[in-house]
Structure 1
Amino acid sequence: MSAIRQYLPAALLCATCLAHGATPEACQGTVYLTLDTGNMRHAEAIATILDKHQVKATFFVAQEKTLRGDHALDASWGDYWKARVAEGHAFGSHTWRHGSFRQDEADGRVTYRLMDGTHARLDAAQVCAELKAADTQFQALTGRPLDPLWRAPGGRTTPLTLKAARACGYRHVHWSAAGFLGDELPSHTHSNAMLLERALARIRDGDILMAHLGIWSRHDPFAPMLDPLIAGLKARGFCFARVPTP
Protein backbone atom coordinates (compact mmCIF):
# COMPACT_ATOMS: atom_id res chain seq x y z
CA MET A 1 0.00 0.00 0.00
CA SER A 2 1.45 3.41 -0.95
CA ALA A 3 2.14 5.97 1.74
CA ILE A 4 -0.61 8.34 0.65
CA ARG A 5 -3.27 5.64 0.43
CA GLN A 6 -2.76 4.82 4.09
CA TYR A 7 -4.73 7.94 5.00
CA LEU A 8 -6.57 9.04 1.83
CA PRO A 9 -9.96 7.58 0.90
CA ALA A 10 -10.70 6.90 -2.76
CA ALA A 11 -13.19 9.75 -2.91
CA LEU A 12 -10.53 12.24 -1.88
CA LEU A 13 -8.08 10.83 -4.39
CA CYS A 14 -10.64 11.50 -7.12
CA ALA A 15 -11.20 14.98 -5.71
CA THR A 16 -7.50 15.77 -6.12
CA CYS A 17 -7.78 14.92 -9.81
CA LEU A 18 -10.76 17.23 -10.20
CA ALA A 19 -8.96 20.00 -8.34
CA HIS A 20 -6.20 19.92 -10.93
CA GLY A 21 -8.36 19.96 -14.01
CA ALA A 22 -8.74 16.25 -14.72
CA THR A 23 -11.80 14.05 -14.59
CA PRO A 24 -11.60 10.77 -12.65
CA GLU A 25 -11.77 8.97 -16.00
CA ALA A 26 -8.82 10.92 -17.40
CA CYS A 27 -6.74 10.54 -14.24
CA GLN A 28 -5.30 7.03 -14.21
CA GLY A 29 -3.63 7.68 -10.88
CA THR A 30 -2.44 10.49 -8.62
CA VAL A 31 1.10 11.11 -7.43
CA TYR A 32 2.47 13.65 -4.97
CA LEU A 33 5.71 15.50 -5.75
CA THR A 34 7.50 16.73 -2.62
CA LEU A 35 10.60 18.94 -2.55
CA ASP A 36 12.94 19.46 0.41
CA THR A 37 14.95 22.68 0.58
CA GLY A 38 18.54 21.41 0.34
CA ASN A 39 21.01 24.05 -0.84
CA MET A 40 18.44 25.76 -3.14
CA ARG A 41 20.79 25.63 -6.14
CA HIS A 42 18.01 24.64 -8.54
CA ALA A 43 15.12 26.34 -6.77
CA GLU A 44 14.31 28.72 -9.62
CA ALA A 45 14.79 26.11 -12.33
CA ILE A 46 12.46 23.69 -10.54
CA ALA A 47 9.87 26.43 -10.11
CA THR A 48 10.00 26.99 -13.87
CA ILE A 49 9.49 23.26 -14.53
CA LEU A 50 6.51 23.12 -12.18
CA ASP A 51 4.95 26.14 -13.86
CA LYS A 52 5.56 24.70 -17.32
CA HIS A 53 3.64 21.53 -16.45
CA GLN A 54 1.12 23.25 -14.15
CA VAL A 55 2.07 20.90 -11.33
CA LYS A 56 1.45 21.73 -7.69
CA ALA A 57 4.09 20.36 -5.32
CA THR A 58 4.55 20.18 -1.56
CA PHE A 59 7.67 21.94 -0.27
CA PHE A 60 9.29 21.01 3.05
CA VAL A 61 11.30 23.95 4.31
CA ALA A 62 14.22 24.25 6.74
CA GLN A 63 16.75 26.97 7.54
CA GLU A 64 19.44 25.25 5.47
CA LYS A 65 22.57 26.92 4.16
CA THR A 66 22.27 27.68 0.45
CA LEU A 67 24.71 27.89 -2.42
CA ARG A 68 24.52 31.70 -2.14
CA GLY A 69 25.93 31.62 1.39
CA ASP A 70 22.68 32.61 3.07
CA HIS A 71 19.92 30.33 4.39
CA ALA A 72 16.74 29.08 2.76
CA LEU A 73 14.38 30.95 5.08
CA ASP A 74 16.34 34.21 5.24
CA ALA A 75 14.62 37.39 4.07
CA SER A 76 16.72 37.17 0.89
CA TRP A 77 14.53 34.21 -0.16
CA GLY A 78 11.26 35.94 0.69
CA ASP A 79 10.32 36.74 -2.91
CA TYR A 80 10.94 33.15 -3.95
CA TRP A 81 8.63 31.74 -1.29
CA LYS A 82 5.97 34.41 -1.90
CA ALA A 83 5.91 33.41 -5.56
CA ARG A 84 5.44 29.74 -4.71
CA VAL A 85 2.61 30.61 -2.32
CA ALA A 86 0.92 32.64 -5.07
CA GLU A 87 1.17 29.62 -7.38
CA GLY A 88 -0.80 27.48 -4.94
CA HIS A 89 1.76 24.96 -3.72
CA ALA A 90 1.63 23.33 -0.27
CA PHE A 91 4.30 23.76 2.41
CA GLY A 92 5.42 21.80 5.47
CA SER A 93 8.16 22.00 8.08
CA HIS A 94 11.50 20.27 7.51
CA THR A 95 12.61 21.38 11.01
CA TRP A 96 14.53 24.59 11.69
CA ARG A 97 18.13 23.35 12.02
CA HIS A 98 17.80 20.35 9.66
CA GLY A 99 19.14 17.95 12.27
CA SER A 100 18.69 14.21 12.43
CA PHE A 101 16.52 12.59 15.09
CA ARG A 102 18.69 9.69 16.21
CA GLN A 103 17.15 7.85 19.15
CA ASP A 104 14.75 8.10 22.06
CA GLU A 105 16.27 8.29 25.53
CA ALA A 106 14.97 6.76 28.76
CA ASP A 107 14.26 10.20 30.22
CA GLY A 108 11.74 10.99 27.48
CA ARG A 109 14.04 13.13 25.37
CA VAL A 110 15.32 12.45 21.87
CA THR A 111 18.89 12.77 20.60
CA TYR A 112 19.09 15.30 17.77
CA ARG A 113 22.26 15.34 15.66
CA LEU A 114 22.94 18.78 14.19
CA MET A 115 24.57 19.55 10.85
CA ASP A 116 27.89 20.42 12.52
CA GLY A 117 28.06 16.98 14.14
CA THR A 118 27.12 18.10 17.64
CA HIS A 119 24.16 16.61 19.49
CA ALA A 120 21.27 18.12 21.40
CA ARG A 121 18.75 16.31 23.58
CA LEU A 122 15.21 17.59 23.01
CA ASP A 123 12.10 17.11 25.08
CA ALA A 124 8.63 17.15 23.49
CA ALA A 125 8.29 20.93 23.74
CA GLN A 126 11.68 21.42 22.11
CA VAL A 127 10.80 19.04 19.25
CA CYS A 128 7.67 21.09 18.70
CA ALA A 129 9.74 24.30 18.75
CA GLU A 130 12.05 22.84 16.04
CA LEU A 131 9.05 22.37 13.76
CA LYS A 132 7.32 25.63 14.64
CA ALA A 133 10.40 27.80 14.12
CA ALA A 134 10.31 27.04 10.39
CA ASP A 135 6.56 27.68 10.40
CA THR A 136 6.93 31.05 12.17
CA GLN A 137 9.65 32.25 9.81
CA PHE A 138 7.81 31.09 6.69
CA GLN A 139 4.73 33.02 7.80
CA ALA A 140 6.86 36.10 8.47
CA LEU A 141 8.23 35.90 4.92
CA THR A 142 5.00 35.11 3.09
CA GLY A 143 2.04 35.91 5.31
CA ARG A 144 1.00 32.24 5.10
CA PRO A 145 1.60 29.60 7.77
CA LEU A 146 2.88 26.18 6.84
CA ASP A 147 0.40 23.36 6.38
CA PRO A 148 0.22 20.98 9.40
CA LEU A 149 2.76 18.64 7.81
CA TRP A 150 6.41 17.91 8.44
CA ARG A 151 9.22 15.73 7.18
CA ALA A 152 12.19 14.69 9.26
CA PRO A 153 15.55 15.31 7.58
CA GLY A 154 16.61 12.05 6.00
CA GLY A 155 13.15 10.72 6.82
CA ARG A 156 14.54 9.59 10.16
CA THR A 157 12.02 9.66 13.02
CA THR A 158 11.59 8.10 16.45
CA PRO A 159 8.40 7.19 18.34
CA LEU A 160 8.85 10.09 20.79
CA THR A 161 9.52 12.55 17.95
CA LEU A 162 6.39 11.51 16.07
CA LYS A 163 4.30 11.72 19.24
CA ALA A 164 5.59 15.21 20.05
CA ALA A 165 4.97 16.42 16.50
CA ARG A 166 1.42 15.07 16.50
CA ALA A 167 0.74 16.76 19.83
CA CYS A 168 1.63 20.15 18.35
CA GLY A 169 -0.38 19.54 15.19
CA TYR A 170 2.06 18.23 12.56
CA ARG A 171 1.65 14.94 10.68
CA HIS A 172 4.79 13.32 9.31
CA VAL A 173 5.07 12.74 5.55
CA HIS A 174 7.61 10.18 4.37
CA TRP A 175 8.07 9.13 0.74
CA SER A 176 7.23 5.96 -1.15
CA ALA A 177 10.00 3.50 -1.95
CA ALA A 178 9.50 4.07 -5.69
CA GLY A 179 9.22 7.80 -5.05
CA PHE A 180 12.81 8.14 -3.83
CA LEU A 181 14.12 9.86 -6.95
CA GLY A 182 17.79 9.43 -6.02
CA ASP A 183 19.01 13.01 -6.38
CA GLU A 184 21.28 12.41 -3.35
CA LEU A 185 23.03 9.40 -4.91
CA PRO A 186 26.47 9.60 -6.58
CA SER A 187 26.33 10.47 -10.28
CA HIS A 188 29.02 7.98 -11.23
CA THR A 189 26.92 5.05 -9.98
CA HIS A 190 23.43 6.44 -10.60
CA SER A 191 23.25 8.43 -13.81
CA ASN A 192 20.36 10.77 -14.49
CA ALA A 193 19.21 8.53 -17.33
CA MET A 194 19.14 5.52 -15.02
CA LEU A 195 17.27 7.36 -12.25
CA LEU A 196 14.73 8.71 -14.72
CA GLU A 197 14.13 5.32 -16.32
CA ARG A 198 13.76 3.67 -12.91
CA ALA A 199 11.28 6.24 -11.67
CA LEU A 200 9.13 6.10 -14.79
CA ALA A 201 9.00 2.30 -14.57
CA ARG A 202 8.28 1.97 -10.84
CA ILE A 203 6.07 4.86 -9.74
CA ARG A 204 2.48 3.86 -9.09
CA ASP A 205 -0.81 5.47 -8.10
CA GLY A 206 -0.64 7.18 -4.71
CA ASP A 207 3.15 7.35 -4.51
CA ILE A 208 4.85 10.27 -2.75
CA LEU A 209 7.90 11.43 -4.72
CA MET A 210 10.86 13.14 -3.05
CA ALA A 211 13.61 15.36 -4.44
CA HIS A 212 15.50 18.49 -3.32
CA LEU A 213 15.86 22.07 -4.48
CA GLY A 214 19.61 21.49 -4.48
CA ILE A 215 22.09 18.85 -3.30
CA TRP A 216 25.69 19.55 -2.31
CA SER A 217 27.21 16.16 -3.09
CA ARG A 218 25.84 15.16 -6.50
CA HIS A 219 28.11 16.13 -9.41
CA ASP A 220 25.50 15.81 -12.19
CA PRO A 221 22.32 17.38 -10.76
CA PHE A 222 19.10 15.45 -11.14
CA ALA A 223 16.85 18.52 -10.92
CA PRO A 224 16.57 19.05 -14.73
CA MET A 225 15.23 15.49 -15.00
CA LEU A 226 12.04 16.60 -13.24
CA ASP A 227 10.94 18.00 -16.61
CA PRO A 228 10.96 14.65 -18.50
CA LEU A 229 9.84 12.82 -15.37
CA ILE A 230 6.69 14.90 -15.00
CA ALA A 231 6.02 14.69 -18.73
CA GLY A 232 6.52 10.92 -18.70
CA LEU A 233 4.24 10.35 -15.71
CA LYS A 234 1.56 12.54 -17.26
CA ALA A 235 1.87 10.48 -20.45
CA ARG A 236 1.16 7.39 -18.33
CA GLY A 237 -2.07 9.07 -17.18
CA PHE A 238 -0.95 10.30 -13.76
CA CYS A 239 -2.21 13.53 -12.24
CA PHE A 240 -0.19 15.50 -9.69
CA ALA A 241 -1.56 16.87 -6.44
CA ARG A 242 -0.40 18.49 -3.22
CA VAL A 243 -0.07 16.24 -0.18
CA PRO A 244 -3.47 16.57 1.54
CA THR A 245 -3.61 18.11 4.98
CA PRO A 246 -5.35 16.48 7.94
Structure 2
Amino acid sequence: MPLANKRPTLAGLLLSSLCAVAAAQGSCDKPVYLTFDTGHMGVAPLIADVLARHQVKATFFLANERTKTDGGSLDAQWAPWWKARAQEGHVFGSHTFDHSYWVADLPEGRFKIRPSAGPQAGTTMTWTTAQYCEALQQSADRFKAMTGTAMAPLFRAPGGKTSPQLLAAAKSCGWAHVGWAPAGFLGDELPSQRYSNAQLLKQAVRDIRPGDILMAHLGIWSRQDPWAPAVLEPLIVGLKARGLCFATLAQHPTYQTMIKASR
Protein backbone atom coordinates (compact mmCIF):
# COMPACT_ATOMS: atom_id res chain seq x y z
CA MET A 1 0.00 0.00 0.00
CA PRO A 2 1.42 3.46 -0.89
CA LEU A 3 2.65 5.47 2.05
CA ALA A 4 0.27 8.33 1.21
CA ASN A 5 -2.71 6.09 1.93
CA LYS A 6 -1.47 5.53 5.46
CA ARG A 7 -1.42 9.20 6.32
CA PRO A 8 -4.36 10.50 8.39
CA THR A 9 -6.78 12.62 6.40
CA LEU A 10 -7.79 16.10 7.49
CA ALA A 11 -11.29 14.79 8.24
CA GLY A 12 -9.83 12.01 10.33
CA LEU A 13 -7.66 14.40 12.27
CA LEU A 14 -10.64 16.69 12.87
CA LEU A 15 -12.79 13.79 14.05
CA SER A 16 -10.07 12.61 16.43
CA SER A 17 -9.70 16.13 17.77
CA LEU A 18 -13.45 16.48 18.33
CA CYS A 19 -13.58 13.13 20.09
CA ALA A 20 -10.72 14.16 22.36
CA VAL A 21 -12.45 17.44 23.21
CA ALA A 22 -15.73 15.65 23.91
CA ALA A 23 -13.99 13.16 26.17
CA ALA A 24 -12.22 15.93 28.03
CA GLN A 25 -15.50 17.78 28.54
CA GLY A 26 -17.37 14.68 29.58
CA SER A 27 -19.80 14.97 26.65
CA CYS A 28 -22.67 12.52 26.89
CA ASP A 29 -25.45 13.02 24.34
CA LYS A 30 -27.27 9.69 24.90
CA PRO A 31 -27.00 9.30 28.68
CA VAL A 32 -28.27 6.62 30.99
CA TYR A 33 -28.10 7.08 34.74
CA LEU A 34 -26.76 4.10 36.68
CA THR A 35 -27.84 4.04 40.33
CA PHE A 36 -27.20 1.67 43.22
CA ASP A 37 -29.07 1.22 46.48
CA THR A 38 -27.19 -0.18 49.45
CA GLY A 39 -27.48 -3.89 50.28
CA HIS A 40 -25.33 -6.46 52.04
CA MET A 41 -22.22 -4.84 50.47
CA GLY A 42 -20.65 -8.17 49.62
CA VAL A 43 -20.16 -7.15 45.99
CA ALA A 44 -19.48 -3.45 46.66
CA PRO A 45 -15.68 -3.66 46.12
CA LEU A 46 -16.20 -5.55 42.85
CA ILE A 47 -18.72 -2.97 41.65
CA ALA A 48 -16.31 -0.16 42.48
CA ASP A 49 -13.59 -1.92 40.47
CA VAL A 50 -15.85 -2.27 37.42
CA LEU A 51 -16.95 1.38 37.56
CA ALA A 52 -13.37 2.57 37.82
CA ARG A 53 -12.16 0.30 35.03
CA HIS A 54 -14.80 1.61 32.64
CA GLN A 55 -14.69 5.21 33.90
CA VAL A 56 -18.38 5.18 34.82
CA LYS A 57 -19.78 7.50 37.46
CA ALA A 58 -22.93 6.38 39.29
CA THR A 59 -25.38 7.63 41.89
CA PHE A 60 -25.67 5.75 45.19
CA PHE A 61 -28.62 5.79 47.62
CA LEU A 62 -27.53 5.06 51.17
CA ALA A 63 -29.19 3.28 54.09
CA ASN A 64 -27.54 1.55 57.02
CA GLU A 65 -28.46 -1.98 55.94
CA ARG A 66 -27.23 -5.24 57.45
CA THR A 67 -24.03 -6.45 55.81
CA LYS A 68 -22.21 -9.73 55.34
CA THR A 69 -19.57 -8.44 57.76
CA ASP A 70 -22.08 -8.41 60.66
CA GLY A 71 -22.40 -4.66 60.70
CA GLY A 72 -24.14 -1.91 58.76
CA SER A 73 -23.43 -0.43 55.35
CA LEU A 74 -22.79 2.97 56.94
CA ASP A 75 -20.68 1.79 59.87
CA ALA A 76 -17.02 2.61 60.48
CA GLN A 77 -15.80 -0.40 58.50
CA TRP A 78 -17.36 0.99 55.31
CA ALA A 79 -16.43 4.63 55.86
CA PRO A 80 -13.17 4.36 53.80
CA TRP A 81 -15.07 2.74 50.94
CA TRP A 82 -17.62 5.56 50.83
CA LYS A 83 -14.91 8.18 51.11
CA ALA A 84 -13.08 6.67 48.15
CA ARG A 85 -16.26 6.72 46.05
CA ALA A 86 -16.85 10.37 46.96
CA GLN A 87 -13.30 11.22 45.88
CA GLU A 88 -13.96 9.50 42.54
CA GLY A 89 -16.81 11.89 41.81
CA HIS A 90 -19.90 9.73 42.23
CA VAL A 91 -23.16 11.26 43.51
CA PHE A 92 -24.99 10.21 46.68
CA GLY A 93 -28.55 10.38 47.99
CA SER A 94 -30.54 9.09 50.95
CA HIS A 95 -32.35 5.76 51.20
CA THR A 96 -33.56 6.51 54.78
CA PHE A 97 -31.23 5.45 57.56
CA ASP A 98 -32.93 2.20 58.58
CA HIS A 99 -34.22 1.34 55.10
CA SER A 100 -37.73 2.32 56.16
CA TYR A 101 -40.58 1.31 53.87
CA TRP A 102 -43.66 3.44 53.38
CA VAL A 103 -46.70 1.24 54.13
CA ALA A 104 -49.68 3.61 54.09
CA ASP A 105 -50.78 7.20 54.50
CA LEU A 106 -52.57 8.25 57.66
CA PRO A 107 -54.57 11.38 58.49
CA GLU A 108 -52.88 14.62 59.51
CA GLY A 109 -49.81 14.04 57.35
CA ARG A 110 -48.68 10.88 59.13
CA PHE A 111 -47.55 7.56 57.71
CA LYS A 112 -47.31 3.88 58.50
CA ILE A 113 -43.61 3.00 58.16
CA ARG A 114 -41.79 -0.34 58.52
CA PRO A 115 -37.95 -0.38 58.72
CA SER A 116 -36.12 -3.46 57.45
CA ALA A 117 -32.89 -2.57 59.29
CA GLY A 118 -31.92 -1.10 62.62
CA PRO A 119 -33.29 -1.75 66.12
CA GLN A 120 -36.95 -1.59 65.02
CA ALA A 121 -36.63 -3.74 61.92
CA GLY A 122 -39.92 -5.42 61.02
CA THR A 123 -41.99 -3.18 63.31
CA THR A 124 -44.76 -1.06 61.80
CA MET A 125 -44.71 2.45 63.26
CA THR A 126 -46.50 5.74 62.82
CA TRP A 127 -44.31 8.62 61.69
CA THR A 128 -44.91 12.29 61.18
CA THR A 129 -43.48 14.27 58.29
CA ALA A 130 -40.76 15.51 60.63
CA GLN A 131 -39.75 11.96 61.53
CA TYR A 132 -39.55 10.91 57.88
CA CYS A 133 -37.44 13.96 57.11
CA GLU A 134 -35.21 13.09 60.06
CA ALA A 135 -34.69 9.56 58.66
CA LEU A 136 -33.62 11.03 55.31
CA GLN A 137 -31.29 13.52 56.96
CA GLN A 138 -29.71 10.91 59.23
CA SER A 139 -28.17 9.18 56.21
CA ALA A 140 -26.97 12.54 54.89
CA ASP A 141 -25.37 13.43 58.21
CA ARG A 142 -23.65 10.05 58.47
CA PHE A 143 -22.35 10.33 54.91
CA LYS A 144 -20.94 13.81 55.58
CA ALA A 145 -19.25 12.54 58.74
CA MET A 146 -17.66 9.62 56.84
CA THR A 147 -16.54 11.48 53.73
CA GLY A 148 -16.57 15.22 54.35
CA THR A 149 -18.83 15.47 51.27
CA ALA A 150 -22.40 16.72 51.28
CA MET A 151 -25.11 14.39 50.02
CA ALA A 152 -27.28 15.56 47.13
CA PRO A 153 -30.90 16.45 48.07
CA LEU A 154 -32.16 13.23 46.44
CA PHE A 155 -33.74 10.17 47.98
CA ARG A 156 -35.08 6.83 46.93
CA ALA A 157 -37.79 5.32 49.08
CA PRO A 158 -37.01 1.68 49.89
CA GLY A 159 -38.74 -0.56 47.38
CA GLY A 160 -39.64 2.56 45.45
CA LYS A 161 -42.82 2.66 47.56
CA THR A 162 -44.24 6.16 47.86
CA SER A 163 -47.48 8.11 47.82
CA PRO A 164 -48.23 11.70 46.77
CA GLN A 165 -48.47 12.52 50.48
CA LEU A 166 -45.04 11.03 51.20
CA LEU A 167 -43.44 12.81 48.25
CA ALA A 168 -44.94 16.11 49.39
CA ALA A 169 -43.64 15.50 52.92
CA ALA A 170 -40.12 14.87 51.65
CA LYS A 171 -40.29 17.87 49.33
CA SER A 172 -41.25 20.08 52.30
CA CYS A 173 -37.82 19.39 53.82
CA GLY A 174 -35.90 19.69 50.56
CA TRP A 175 -35.75 16.15 49.18
CA ALA A 176 -36.67 15.01 45.65
CA HIS A 177 -37.53 11.39 44.97
CA VAL A 178 -35.76 9.32 42.29
CA GLY A 179 -37.41 6.25 40.82
CA TRP A 180 -36.25 4.26 37.81
CA ALA A 181 -37.33 3.50 34.26
CA PRO A 182 -39.24 0.25 33.58
CA ALA A 183 -36.31 -1.03 31.48
CA GLY A 184 -33.94 0.31 34.14
CA PHE A 185 -35.08 -2.27 36.67
CA LEU A 186 -32.01 -4.47 36.29
CA GLY A 187 -33.47 -7.46 38.10
CA ASP A 188 -30.85 -8.16 40.74
CA GLU A 189 -33.66 -8.66 43.30
CA LEU A 190 -35.25 -11.45 41.26
CA PRO A 191 -34.66 -15.16 42.00
CA SER A 192 -31.76 -16.42 39.93
CA GLN A 193 -33.50 -19.80 39.48
CA ARG A 194 -36.10 -18.06 37.29
CA TYR A 195 -34.16 -15.06 35.99
CA SER A 196 -30.61 -15.96 35.02
CA ASN A 197 -27.85 -13.39 34.73
CA ALA A 198 -27.69 -14.07 31.00
CA GLN A 199 -31.41 -13.37 30.63
CA LEU A 200 -31.24 -10.15 32.65
CA LEU A 201 -28.24 -8.93 30.66
CA LYS A 202 -29.86 -9.63 27.29
CA GLN A 203 -33.05 -7.85 28.30
CA ALA A 204 -31.27 -4.77 29.68
CA VAL A 205 -28.93 -4.29 26.71
CA ARG A 206 -31.89 -4.65 24.35
CA ASP A 207 -34.47 -2.48 26.13
CA ILE A 208 -32.63 0.39 27.87
CA ARG A 209 -33.01 3.73 26.11
CA PRO A 210 -31.30 7.14 26.41
CA GLY A 211 -32.53 9.01 29.47
CA ASP A 212 -33.35 5.88 31.48
CA ILE A 213 -32.49 5.70 35.17
CA LEU A 214 -31.12 2.24 36.00
CA MET A 215 -31.36 0.61 39.43
CA ALA A 216 -29.36 -2.17 41.09
CA HIS A 217 -27.98 -2.90 44.57
CA LEU A 218 -24.70 -3.39 46.39
CA GLY A 219 -25.71 -6.96 47.17
CA ILE A 220 -29.04 -8.80 47.51
CA TRP A 221 -29.37 -11.50 50.17
CA SER A 222 -31.96 -13.60 48.36
CA ARG A 223 -30.26 -13.96 44.97
CA GLN A 224 -28.15 -17.09 44.79
CA ASP A 225 -26.27 -16.17 41.61
CA PRO A 226 -24.99 -12.62 42.26
CA TRP A 227 -25.95 -10.08 39.60
CA ALA A 228 -22.80 -8.03 40.11
CA PRO A 229 -20.25 -7.99 38.71
CA ALA A 230 -21.33 -10.78 36.32
CA VAL A 231 -23.97 -8.62 34.60
CA LEU A 232 -22.65 -5.15 35.41
CA GLU A 233 -19.49 -5.24 33.32
CA PRO A 234 -20.98 -6.67 30.11
CA LEU A 235 -23.97 -4.35 30.57
CA ILE A 236 -21.70 -1.30 30.57
CA VAL A 237 -19.81 -2.61 27.54
CA GLY A 238 -23.02 -3.49 25.70
CA LEU A 239 -24.70 -0.14 26.29
CA LYS A 240 -21.59 1.76 25.25
CA ALA A 241 -21.46 -0.34 22.09
CA ARG A 242 -25.00 0.89 21.33
CA GLY A 243 -23.77 4.48 21.59
CA LEU A 244 -25.11 5.15 25.07
CA CYS A 245 -23.03 6.80 27.77
CA PHE A 246 -23.20 7.07 31.56
CA ALA A 247 -23.89 10.14 33.67
CA THR A 248 -24.79 10.84 37.27
CA LEU A 249 -28.06 12.38 38.39
CA ALA A 250 -26.16 15.66 38.78
CA GLN A 251 -26.45 15.83 34.97
CA HIS A 252 -30.09 14.69 34.81
CA PRO A 253 -32.40 17.45 33.52
CA THR A 254 -34.90 16.88 36.33
CA TYR A 255 -32.35 17.10 39.15
CA GLN A 256 -29.30 19.01 37.96
CA THR A 257 -30.53 22.49 38.95
CA MET A 258 -31.45 21.57 42.52
CA ILE A 259 -28.23 19.59 43.01
CA LYS A 260 -26.15 22.50 41.76
CA ALA A 261 -28.05 24.89 44.04
CA SER A 262 -27.40 22.66 47.05
CA ARG A 263 -23.61 22.70 46.64
TM-score, structure 2 as length reference: 0.83
Structure 2 counterpart of 1:181 = 186
Greater displacement, 105-114 / 136-145: 105-114
Cα displacement string for residues 29-54 of structure 1 (whole angstroms, at most 9, x for unaligned residues)? 11000000111110000000000100
| Counterpart check, 1:152 vs 2:138 | no
CA distance in 1 between partners of 2:238 and 2:26 (Å): 17
Aligned positions of 1:161-176 closer than 5 A: 161-176=166-181
Q: Whose RCO is larger (CA < 8 A, sep 6+)?
A: 1
State the Cα distance separating 1:23 from its structure 2 match: 4.3
RMSD value over aligned CA atoms?
Answer: 1.5
Spell out structure 1 runs of 4+ moving beyond 6 A: none
Identity of counterpart residues, as a percentage? Answer: 53
Structure 2 counterpart of 1:5 = none
Cα displacement string for residues 8-30 of structure 1 (whole angstroms, at most 9, x for unaligned residues)? xxxxxxxxxx5875546xx4x11
The count of corresponding residues between Structure 1 and Structure 2 is: 227
Rg larger in structure: 2
Cα displacement string for residues 108-136 of structure 1 (whole angstroms, at most 9, x for unaligned residues)? 20100122321111111111001000000
Structure 2 counterpart of 1:206 = 211
CA distance in 2 between partners of 1:191 and 1:20 (Å): 37
TM-score, structure 1 as length reference: 0.89
- One-letter amino acid matched to 1:227: E
**Distance change in 2, residues 1:89/1:22 (3 Å):** closer
State the Cα distance separating 1:107 from its structure 2 match: 3.0
Structure 2 counterpart of 1:82 = 83
CA distance in 1 between partners of 2:88 and 2:234 (Å): 21
CA distance in 1 between partners of 2:129 and 2:163 (Å): 12
- 1:200–1:229 CA contact under 8 A, matched in 2: yes
Question: Counting helix residues as a fraction of each chain, which structure ranks higher?
Answer: 2
- 1:62–1:95 CA contact under 8 A, matched in 2: yes
- 1:102–1:158 CA contact under 8 A, matched in 2: no
- One-letter amino acid matched to 1:123: T
CA distance in 2 between partners of 1:135 and 1:30 (Å): 26
State the Cα distance separating 1:75 from its structure 2 match: 1.2
Structure 2 residues without counterparts, runs of 5 or longer: 1-21, 251-255, 259-263
